[in-house]
Structure 1
Amino acid sequence: MAGGGGFVYGEVVAFSAMVSIECMNVGLNTLFKAATMAGMSYHVFVVYSYAIATLALLPAPFFSRRSRALPRLSFSVLWKIGLLGVIGSSSQIMGYAGINYSSPTLASAIGNLTPAFTFLLAVICRMEKVIVRRRSSQAKVLGTAVSIAGAFVVTLYKGAPIIKASLSSSTVQLNQSLASSPTQNWVLGGFFLTCEYLLVPSWYIVQTQIMKEYPAEVTVVFFYNIVVCIIAAFVALVTEGTSPTAWILKPNVALASVVCSGFGSCLNNSVHTWALRIKGPVFVAMFKPLSIAIAVAMGVMFLGDTLYLGSVIGAVVISIGFTL
């Protein structure tokens, strides 16, 4: 009976949590794009969203049972959390810059490379062992490759339309404004997003190492948020200065995006850290290709986008990759 409960906790709950987080991230990326189109600086956006995430987790170090049962934070753990903050803030700034210059869809597409980068880095850091003759190693390699292939099918192959677009006037205006953003530069955006998804695997590896030394997810994420907020504030002050125009939030889509992103970031980092502790970096990275399929599905359901054959085929291939 205990074994069955362990399976549910380790497999079903982890799988459901990661799928939910990817759904949430696609929505948050779209909200961020809307906020920057309303004139908000993405540097300031990172500062405010992580400040909210820090406040949301403020009670965590004092009330977490796991934290009370563990020894005091050592210099080794604190140093790694600082490194994690540098990697995390850099990837966030790069990622938001990339979305600002391109689109959330391109961000999801380039994120497809995360599993491959994470798997290679985990093998180099000896967190994953690849023994060619073992079926478990073969399944990991094959599953990662199939998921990535499916994501690229969604991205690169359109095919015949299955469900045609049915757009309201407000949705048409939103899509036109997203497509004609004055700062749109797909080459520069792609460069920033590639840099982000080269940093994300490093974040997974360092966070997994921290969990081995100090397995208190919420407490670690709390201190991580503080570090990211401080670094992002310094960067924002250098790039934006102290002009009130850049820092004052108006009660519009920008404010809503910051609040949603703050709580979303808090939940996202906590779930990722928990999953890294119980399943490892490769498992977490495997869910990145799923985001492009989620972006397509949300576009069809909520924005009235056209559903194409390539999206369906790619989603099926991604599902096959998860089952291997």
Structure 2
Amino acid sequence: TSKGVSPFVVLVYSYTIGSLLLLPFTVFSFRSRSLPPLTFSVLCNMGLLGLFAGISQIAGYNGIKYSSPTLSSAMSNVNPAFTFILAVIFRMEKIFLKKESSLAKVLGTIMSIIGALVVTLYHGPMLMSSRSGWVFGGSLLALQFIIVSVSNILMAHTMSRYPSTVIVTLVHNICVTLVCALVSLLAEKDNPKAWSIGFDISLIIIVAVGILNSGYYVVHTWAVSHKGPVYLSMFKPLSILIAAASTAIFLGESIYLGSFIGGILISIGFYMVLWGKTKEEKVYTSTIESSPSQKAPLLGN
């Protein structure tokens, strides 16, 4: 994008490359294992994943444009809170307020949301940035990560119906390509040169993004199907520190007091939810392990 290439065009080309790379793996997946029928409703689920991903990518790019990468990383840490709320609504997670683990998850979720509001709405003394669209950018980033949370829930449902990470990723990539192509045609209708890519750093970036995005989504899909959407969304907080340090060092961005305070609140909330989730898993594991020993005397009689 520093070379004048539209970010929407980058998305179109990179997801096209990712789709082409996945085609041979898709053929192998069909031949190597027995999969359930690829029904129209399953395809609609996969297509919806792609639609959500395309919208979230576009919102994310514009959110960073109007704010900063640091704010984007801070807002991404709200993803676990939104995912947890949706998982409770769709009964993928259970809440028992008398248990410490459930209480920690609820309080952690609330704290994460408060932290996100602080990051978005409060700058604090010092550091007034030259960017005037901080709240608008923060709102776009919030939209992005709400959509990501919805996608995590939908992905878990889709994988339960059609457990093939490669095929789900391929259909997802194709749909993202179509969504971004439509947006690009509208956004760049007066700038046909935006579609021309030279043999320079822009091409390298597009190929790299295509490969990395597809690889990431395959792993992401596999993890959701095996560990669930809430557990996967837990691993975010370090990104805020990395992004803040990187943008300050390499891009000369100011670090706002609001970003610092909000980041701390979000991270504390994250670790509260993670602690509650981990404790629940330990209780579940110990229950499973103790059940055979409890039944042994009955079998011996």
Question: Common fold, TM-score beyond 0.5?
Answer: yes
1:188 shift after superposition? 2.8
CA contact (8 A) 2:51 2:176 kept: yes
Give, in whole Å, the separation in 2 of the partners of 1:121 and 1:48.
32
What is the TM-score normalised by the length of structure 1?
0.69
> Among residues 62, 66, 76, which one is paired with 1:97 in the alignment?
62
Please list, as runs of the form range in 1=range in 2, the aligned pairs for 1:1-324 lying within 5 A after superposition: 35=1, 37-64=2-29, 68-142=33-107, 144=109, 185-241=133-189, 243-296=191-244, 298=246, 314=264, 317=268, 320-321=271-272, 322-324=274-276
* Shift in CA distance, 299/213, structure 1 to aligned 2, threshold 3 Å: same
Query: TM-score under structure 2 normalisation?
Result: 0.74
* More deviation, 226-235/186-195: 186-195
* Paired residues of 1:212 and 1:277 also in contact (CA < 8 A): yes
CA contact (8 A) 1:98 1:193 kept: yes
Rounded to whole Å, the distance in 2 between the matches of 1:226 and 1:61 is 13
Deviation at 1:323, TM superposition (A): 4.6
State the shift of 1:204 in Å.
0.7
One-letter identity of the residue aligned with 1:97:
N
Deviation at 1:244, TM superposition (A): 3.6
Retained in 2: the 8 A contact 1:154–1:292? no
Q: Which residue of the partner structure matches residue 291 of structure 2?
A: none
Change beyond 3 A, Cα 1:318–1:134: closer
Q: CA offset at residue 109 of structure 1?
A: 1.5
Distance 1:187 1:153, change over 3 A: closer
For 1:72 and 1:242, the matched residues in 2 are separated by: 44
Output the CA distance in 1 between the equivalents of 2:222 and 2:84: 19
1:24 aligned partner: none
Deviates more, 1:214-223 or 1:134-143: 134-143
Secondary structure, aligned partner of 1:59: helix
TM-aligned CA deviation for residue 304 of structure 1: 9.9
Q: Deviations over 1:297-317 (max 9, x none)?
A: 556887899999969x94985
Query: Percent of aligned pairs with the same residue?
Result: 46
Pair 1:210–1:190, CA change in 2 (3 A): same
Structure 2 segments unaligned to the other structure (5+ residues): 277-301
The 3 A distance-change label for structure 1 pair 90 and 152 is closer
Shift of 1:257: 2.6
Contact 2:108 2:270 in 1 (8 A): no
Q: 2-side partners of 1:307 and 1:102: how far apart?
A: 12
Give how far 1:227 is off: 1.0
| Corresponding letter in the other structure for 1:132 | L
Deviation at 1:287, TM superposition (A): 2.0
Q: Secondary structure at the match of 2:78?
A: helix
The answer (yes or no) to whether the contact 1:50–1:228 under 8 Å persists in 2 is: yes
Alignment gaps of 5+ in structure 1: 1-34, 159-178
Q: Relative to 1, partners in 2 of residues 1:147 and 1:113: Cα closer, same or farther, differing over 3 Å? A: closer
Structure-1 separation of matches of 2:163 and 2:99: 30
In the TM superposition, residue 130 of structure 1 has moved relative to its aligned partner by: 0.9
Give the letter aligned to residue 46 of structure 2: I
